[in-house]
Amino acid sequence: MQKKYSDIRKKLQITVDKTTDSGLAHLTHYFQNHTNGVSQYFKPTATSYLADLHADLNILQDPDFQYYLPIKWDIPFPPQTNPKFKFIDLFAGIGGIRLAFQNLGGKCVFTSEWDTYSKKTYEANFGEVPFGDITKISEKEIPDHDILLGGFPCQPFSIAGVSKKNALGRAHGFLDETQGTLFFDVARIIKHKKPKVFMLENVKNLVSHDKGKTFKVITETLKELGYSIHFKVLDGKHFVPQHRERIIIVGFRNQIFKTKETFEFPKMSETKFAIKNILEPEVDKKYTLSAHLWNYLQEYAKKHKAKGNGFGFGMTDLNGISRTMSARYYKDGAEILIPQEGKSPRRLTPRECARLQGFPDTFLIPVSDNQAYKQFGNSVVTPLIQAVGKNIVKELLKINEPKKTKVAVY
């Protein structure tokens, strides 16, 4: 008989806070992957962690997985029961990329995110606690997968080590140039695990960062690792009422696709979105800006306008789209303000922020407003990612389908 995840969560007191360690990640990953060929990555630690939990919580029953499996996943986004492919979710945030690829029939077999509050939101929605800091996780601890996914932070690359290596007469690859950055961790995992496909997401500025050098090092590293690279800057406004440009980099493994993949980025719909359609009908007055803050924002904008700068608040046209929401939205909400008749404007509610990124209303928000603003500001436009993912999966299934009898997911 299936056991409800909500009951297991209660019995084992599964909560995510600053004391949460990787044991809980192993346990929840094992719960979700105990029958799909990757359980060996999680079972040993999950077994000892379960025994420790039983002892700490004075549970008299034996710490045996037979009392917990199989699980009925009563969470908003349960794992696929008959998946078409496997993927991993790096720099996972609150799971916007996972949601898109899960919707396309994929099964997530590993996830990593360092922020405690993001992990809390992730577990509430997907029933899985992400592993922590990717820089401390060996590539050997990561299960095999078809697609690697990640939105890594943009960081400059140092070229200090390059001339030194040349002087020593040692050849250096582009991978060496990326050491000390989080992109290096993506590259080392790709090098070791050799996924068939990867998709990376980043801010539009990555292309021009450091006069284009950063982007060149990234693309050359990925080519050096044996991948055919496709990239494009796409705008979320074709899917939600928000102007949000992001660079998407997709790579197909040459050894498998022979550079013959017919992948194309999705054609952008001309549908016009309006922010008024994502607003809640009734909003708590706490979201209205205080007279003091509203006055400050107006004075600040006036001062910068006089200097010829473009800094200032963004009063949103309700029939149009908003500016880009950022992780600093929690500070004052200045970039996206909603006009209100006869009073100061208001900021968006966390639920409206979720909608602005394309998350369904079933997505749970178990954290404070400030944390929610940071999380959605750092997230992705999920329907845009899903549109790109649909074309990636189409290519993947062309090569996966013929081998189905040999390499079954389950």
Active-site residue set: 154
For 27-50, the three-class secondary structure string (H helix, E strand, C coil) is HHHHHHHCCCCCHHHCHHHHHHHH
Cβ density class 64-74: b for 16+ within 10 Å, e for less: eeeebeebebe
What's the CA gap between 338 and 145, in Å, rounded? 43
Neighbouring CB atoms inside 10 A of 245's CB total: 13
- Please report how many Cα atoms fall inside a 13 Å half-sphere around the Cα of residue 294, on the Cβ side: 15
Q: Is the dihedral of CA 18, 19, 22, 24 positive or negative?
A: negative
What number of H helices and E strands is found in the chain? 15, 10
- Residues contacting residue 79 through CB under 8 Å, at least 6 positions apart: 32, 73, 102, 107, 108, 126, 127
Amino acid at site 257 = F
State the DSSP string of 360-408.
-TTS---S-HHHHHHHHHHS--HHHHHHHHHHHHHHHHHHHGGGTTTS-
What's the CA gap between 254 and 196, in Å, rounded? 9
User: What token pair was written down for 303?
Assistant: 């001062």
Task: Determine the Cα angle at 124 with ends 122 and 125, to 5°.
Answer: 70
221 φ, ψ (degrees, to nearest 5): -60, -45
Q: Are 89 and 150 in contact (CB under 8 A)?
A: yes
Q: Can you tell me which residue has the tokens 């996206």?
A: 336
